[in-house]
C-alpha cells in the first residue's frame, strides 16, 4: 500500500539524494561502526518524515536544493537516533523485523551510537545554514526528550488525566512532523501565513499518525505488528484507547486493580484488559479523534497553492488513518 503514496513518487529522486547523504554518514563512520550504521539506515522504514519535508519544499521550489536535502536527512537521522535510544530503554530486540543495535551491541555502544546519530543530525541541520531551522531543530530535540522523560515518569500511572495524552504524543511524534514541514517552508521561502499553515498541517498529521499507531497497538494483527498486541499497556504506557475505555467503563477501579496485580505487565489479567479495550467502543471513539485531526490537516492544506503537492499531502493525510483498515 505504501508504494501507492503519491508523495513518495513525487519526491522519489530527491529522496534518493537523502538516502545517499545518510549512507555516506555510515561509510565515513569509524570502521567497526560503518556496517552497523548502514544496516540500521538500510532497515529504513517508510522514510515518511523526509518525504514530508521534501513534499513541503515542493510547494515552493521544483527540485530540492542541497539545503532541503540536508534538512530531510537531519529529520530522518534525528528520528533514527531517538529509535536507537528507545530500543535500548525498552530493551527491544527487534524493530521493523530487523534486529536492533541494542540486541547485538552492549549498552555503552548503543548509547553512543544514538549520540553519534544525534550529532550527525545536528550537523545536517547546520548544513541548511539557516539559524531558524537550527533553532527549531534544537527545540524539537528538547521537546522529544522531555516527552520521553514524561512518558517514563508516568508509566503505570493508571489514573493520569486523559489530557496528559495529547502533549505526550505531540512530543513523541507530531513535534518532529511539524518541525519538518515548518523548516522546509522556511527554506523554501514561504510567506509567514504559508509557513504557519504547513506547521499546522504537520502537527495535525503527526497527531493523527500517532493516534492510529496507538490504535494499531491494540487492534493490529500480531504477525504484522511483529510484537504482542497491547504492548503499550503491558509496558504501563497509557494511550488514547485505554483513556476512552476507562472513561466509559462501569468499573474503572476494578480494571485498574487488575493491572495493579501484575506489575511486570505479562500476566493473563493484562491480556484480558487488552482484549476488553479491543472489543470496546473506545476503539471507535479513538478513531474518531484521529479522523478529526486528519480533517484539520486537510483543511490546513487549503491555505496552500493547489497542485500536485497539495494533492499528495492530502492523500498522505488520508493514508494516515486508512492504513489500519
Q: Is 134 in the site for its own copies (CB under 8 A)?
A: yes
Q: Is 215 in the site for its own copies (CB under 8 A)?
A: no
Q: Is 92 in the site for its own copies (CB under 8 A)?
A: no
Among 59, 137, 165, 209, binds its own copies (CB under 8 A): 137
Cα torsion 263, 265, 267, 268: sign:
positive
Which range, of 15-23, 49-57, 124-132, 220-228, touches its own copies by CB under 8 A? Answer: 124-132
The residue behind cell 548544513 is 127
Min separation Cβ 27 and its own copies, Å: 13
| Gap between the Cα atoms of 211 and 290, Å rounded | 6
Which range, of 143-151, 192-200, 258-266, 284-292, touches its own copies by CB under 8 A? Answer: 143-151
When the beta carbons of 29 and 198 are compared against its own copies, the nearer one is: 29
Cell, residue 287: 478513531
Q: Is 131 in the site for its own copies (CB under 8 A)?
A: yes
Min separation Cβ 236 and its own copies, Å: 12
Among 119, 275, 279, 284, binds its own copies (CB under 8 A): 119
Cell, residue 317: 493525510
- DSSP class of residue 256 equals H
Residue pair 60/190 in contact by the 8 Å Cβ criterion: yes
| Gap between the Cα atoms of 188 and 284, Å rounded | 39
Which range, of 8-16, 137-145, 221-229, 239-247, touches its own copies by CB under 8 A? Answer: 137-145
Q: How far is C-alpha 184 from the chain's CA centre? A: 18
| Gap between the Cα atoms of 69 and 125, Å rounded | 10
Which range, of 12-20, 134-142, 278-286, 302-310, touches its own copies by CB under 8 A? Answer: 134-142
Residue pair 205/317 in contact by the 8 Å Cβ criterion: yes
Q: Is 116 in the site for its own copies (CB under 8 A)?
A: yes
Residue pair 303/193 in contact by the 8 Å Cβ criterion: yes
Q: Is 123 in the site for its own copies (CB under 8 A)?
A: yes
Min separation Cβ 323 and its own copies, Å: 29
Q: Which residues between 151 and 190 bind its own copies (CB under 8 A)?
A: 152-153
Q: Is 304 in the site for its own copies (CB under 8 A)?
A: no
Min separation Cβ 162 and its own copies, Å: 19
Q: What value does the CA radius of gyration of the chain take, rounded to a whole number of Å?
A: 20
Bridge partners of residue 95, in order along the sequence: 98
Contacts of 63 (CB under 8 A, 6+ apart): 13, 14
| Gap between the Cα atoms of 198 and 183, Å rounded | 9
Residues that bind its own copies (CB under 8 A): 29-30, 32-33, 85, 88-89, 107-109, 111-116, 118-120, 122-123, 125-127, 129-131, 134-135, 137-139, 141-142, 144-146, 148-150, 152-153
Amino acid at each position: 500500500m505504501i508504494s501507492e503514496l503519491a508523495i513518495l513518487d513525487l519526491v522519489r529522486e530527491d529522496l534518493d539524494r537523502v538516502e545517499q547523504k545518510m549512507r555516506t554518514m555510515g561509510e565515513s563512520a569509524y570502521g567497526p561502526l560503518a556496517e552497523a550504521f548502514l544496516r540500521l539506515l538500510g532497515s529504513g522504514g517508510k522514510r515518511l518524515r523526509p518525504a514530508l519535508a521534501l513534499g513541503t519544499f515542493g510547494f515552493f521550489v521544483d527540485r530540492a536544493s542541497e539545503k532541503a536535502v540536508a534538512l530531510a536527512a537531519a529529520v530522518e537521522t534525528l528520528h533514527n537516533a531517538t529509535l536507537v535510544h528507545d530500543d535500548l530503554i525498552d530493551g527491544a530486540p527487534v524493530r521493523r523485523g530487523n534486529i536492533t543495535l541494542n540486541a547485538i551491541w552492549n549498552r555503552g555502544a548503543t548509547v553512543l551510537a544514538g549520540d553519534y546519530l544525534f550529532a550527525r543530525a545536528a550537523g545536517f541541520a547546520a548544513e541548511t545554514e539557516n539559524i531558524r531551522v537550527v533553532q527549531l531543530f534544537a527545540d524539537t530535540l528538547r521537546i522529544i526528550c522531555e516527552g520521553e522523560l514524561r512518558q517514563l515518569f508516568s508509566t503505570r500511572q493508571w489514573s493520569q488525566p486523559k489530557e496528559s495524552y495529547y502533549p505526550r504524543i505531540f512530543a513523541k511524534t507530531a513535534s518532529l512532523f511539524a518541525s519538518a514541514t515548518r523548516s522546509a517552508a522556511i527554506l523554501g521561502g514561504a510567506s509567514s501565513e504559508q509557513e504557519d499553515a504547513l506547521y499546522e498541517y504537520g502537527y495535525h498529521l503527526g497527531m493523527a499518525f500517532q493516534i492510529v499507531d496507538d490504535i494499531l497497538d491494540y487492534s493490529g494483527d500480531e504477525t504484522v505488528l511483529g510484537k504482542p498486541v497491547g504492548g503499550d499497556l503491558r509496558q504501563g504506557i497509557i494511550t488514547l484507547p485505554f483513556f476512552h475505555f476507562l472513561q466509559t467503563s462501569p468499573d474503572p477501579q476494578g480494571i485498574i486493580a487488575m493491572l495493579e496485580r501484575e506489575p511486570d505487565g505479562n500476566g493473563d489479567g493484562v491480556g484480558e484488559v487488552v482484549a476488553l479495550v479491543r472489543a470496546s467502543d473506545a476503539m471507535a471513539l479513538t478513531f474518531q479523534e484521529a479522523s478529526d485531526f486528519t480533517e484539520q490537516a486537510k483543511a490546513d492544506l487549503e491555505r496552500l497553492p493547489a497542485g500536485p503537492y497539495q494533492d499528495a499531502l492530502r492523500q498522505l493525510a488520508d493514508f494516515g488513518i486508512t492504513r489500519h483498515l
